[in-house]
Amino acid sequence: QVGFVESGGGLVQAGGPPRLSCRVSGNIMSLQRMGWFRQTPSTQREKIANITADGQTSYVGSVKGRFTISRDNAKAEVYLQMNNLKPEDTAVYYCNAAPWPSAAWGQGTQVTVSS
């Protein structure tokens, strides 16, 4: 059964940087495009970054140039390096596999950015 466990969030000063991790279970990661999403109490869940099985990446405009998605297929993990954090990056961050969502969402990891 496919599952996702996100970690690495917390309370951070503006400028960061934390690195989020997502551990993937279910032996699908090496074949799938993976993505990071975020959600706040007032917004819908939004895909902010994704990475193909061969490492091609894309980002939403609000995080482009500040966040970096990467993956380690051998460890079945996906990462999100977050730099130059802003208070508006405060959200719960989730990962999932394409087609979104390919499995139930994990619990997410809360990132709170103080100014």
Share of the chain above pLDDT 90, in %: 69
How far, in Å, CA of 105 to CA of 85, rounded?
Answer: 24
Q: What is the pLDDT of residues 5-46, one digit of tens each?
A: 999 999 887 555 789 999 999 877 667 899 999 999 999 999
pLDDT digits (tens, 9 = 90+) for 68-81: 999 999 899 999 99
Residue 107 Cα distances to 7, 11, 62, 74, 95, angstroms: 9, 17, 23, 23, 10
Are 89 and 59 in contact by the 8 Å Cβ rule? The answer is no
DSSP secondary structure code for residue 108 in this structure: -
